Amino acid sequence: MLHALIIEDEWAIALHLEEAVREAGAISVSVAATEREAIELAIARRPDLIASDVRLLEGTGPAAVSTIIRTIGPRPVVFFTAWPQDCIGYDGPAEIVTKPATLSRLVSVFEKHLHG
């Protein structure tokens, strides 16, 4: 079963991303709005893909992803942000998609990471 974790604090963008990961093949999706919630959700149900914004209302995506990867092991990571330079804080492999991104672009990126 392919499970994706989306870390995004803007609900409209989170819905857009959820549509894209489901279209790319994810069977289930968890959505977190804060760094802490993302870590808790990833520990409760290990994702096959992490899609994360960088700036959150509480915490940061790179900090959440770093903790998740240290805790549960390597996972494909896609950061989507209007500020790519802010991906500082995560030093693992990740793809960066600049906002705004079309649905077809997101689906393509997520398919690559979900299906190798």
Calpha distance 106→91 (Å, rounded): 22
Sequence-separated (6 or more) residues with CB below 8 Å from residue 23? 103, 107, 110
Single-letter residue type at 51: A
Q: What is the pLDDT of residue 13?
A: 93
**From 3.40.630.30, 3.40.50.261, 2.60.40.10, 3.40.50.2300, which CATH number describes the 3-115 domain?**
3.40.50.2300
The pLDDT-based confidence of 66 (bands split at 50, 70, 90) is very high
Residue with the larger pLDDT of the pair 115 and 52: 52
84-93 residue pLDDT tens: 777 777 888 8
* DSSP letter assigned to residue 54: S
Q: What is the pLDDT of residue 59?
A: 95
User: Domain segments of the chain: what residues?
Assistant: 3-115
13-49 residue pLDDT tens: 999 999 999 999 999 999 999 999 999 999 999 999 9
**Phi, psi for residue 113 in degrees, rounded to 5:** -85, -30
The answer to whether 52 and 35 have CB atoms below 8 angstroms apart is no
pTM: 0.94
